[in-house]
Amino acid sequence: MGRKRRGIPVHGWLNIDKPEGMSSAAVVGAVRRITNAQKAGHAGTLDPFATGVLPIALGEATKTVPYLVAEEKEYGFTARFGGATNTDDIEGQIIQESDHRPNESDILNMIPSFTGDIIQIPPAYSAIKINGERAYKLARSGEDVVMPERTVTIYDLRLDEIIDQDHARFTVRCSKGTYIRALARDLAVALGTVAHLSQLRRLRVGPFLEKSAISLDKLAELWQCPAEFEDLLPLTTALDDIPAVAISETQAIRVRHGNDVAVPNQADGTICALDGDIPLAICKVEGGVAFPVRVFNI
């Protein structure tokens, strides 16, 4: 007999406004304590010093996390010119300094070079695995970490404000896998100086927006009446770009058991199979046949 899972079955998404100073894992832990959910996970790690949108999946919604992680993201960040740190953010130690400060014209002229597909070298202090080990663990142990290059897409990069001689505020819309710390670092180098992030806030992850994010304190207050809680979003929220396809009752039984069903009028690709309004599974369609990839147990 399998071990009984602790907690209650809660399925859906929460749009949490992550506070500064907490890791993403700590936020997930706090959400589980507040909701007593059996299972929870987050979509897209935020560094402890960062704030903003952190989508939290509860229950069977955790099976849709990969589809949200792939979504476009938007951030607001502040670069501090004149000092490079070993972590490329405010939490690290200064390892290089420069007296040069770019002006507004310099920055505006350089931004087009950092728009579109660009090549990044992620920070050594990141969660990327190198030979099976997290890069940040290797870096903390004093090893010389060689990070692999990656291509990411910057859809839009805007200079919002020159705050003072040392600080400038930006907004960026980007693809998955983009390191904003690396973006600020590389932009500064291209401008003939060095920089690190002094502030980072995530404004959007796919359909999850800053304006609808709630704090952990607000969640704790509102969750006292779960039946009336209106901020728990549907399991399918992360599947906005995936077609929803209703199937018959007989087909639904097959899908629940992981078996394929015929969908002759459906184009090849990924769908969410529905039994009425109930999501059954994420399926891959090939040649008019839907093959369950992730089945929801709800």
pLDDT score for 138? 62
Distances (CA, A) of 276 to 11, 250, 279: 17, 12, 8
Q: Please name the residues in contact with 268: beta carbons below 8 A apart, sequence gap of 6 or more.
A: 285, 286, 287
| pTM score of the predicted model | 0.90
Distance between CA 131 and CA 116 in Å, rounded? 30
Question: Is residue 126 packed enough to be buried (19+ CB in 10 Å), middle (13-18) or exposed (0-12)?
Answer: buried
Q: What is the pLDDT of residue 182?
A: 95
pLDDT of residue 1: 45
d(CA 126, CA 190) in angstroms, rounded, equals: 22
DSSP class of residue 136 equals H
- Amino acid 103 reads N
Would you give the distance in Å from CA 29 to the centre of its chain?
A: 17
pLDDT score at 71: 85
Grouped pLDDT means (10 residues each) for the chain, 298 residues:
71 97 95 94 92 97 91 96 94 95 97 97 72 67 74 97 97 95 97 98 96 96 84 92 93 95 93 94 96 94
What's the rounded Cα separation, in Å, for the pair 87 and 64?
Answer: 31
Residue 91: Cβ-neighbour burial (10 angstroms; 0-12, 13-18, 19+): middle
Return the structure tokens found at 255: 């899908």
Domains and CATH numbers, the chain: 12-70+207-236 (3.30.2350.10), 73-205 (3.30.2350.10), 242-295 (2.30.130.60)
For residue 2, what pLDDT is reported? 52
Whole-angstrom CA distances from 203 to 55, 77, 188 are 11, 10, 23
Sign of CA dihedral 114, 120, 123, 127: positive
> What is the structure's pLDDT at 127?
66
Are 179 and 136 in contact by the 8 Å Cβ rule? The answer is no
Residues identified as active-site: 47
Token pair for residue 139?
């870096």
**What's the angle, vertex CA 289, arms to CA 283 and CA 292, rounded to 5?**
25
**DSSP β-bridge partners for residue 84:** 96
Amino acid letter at 175?
S
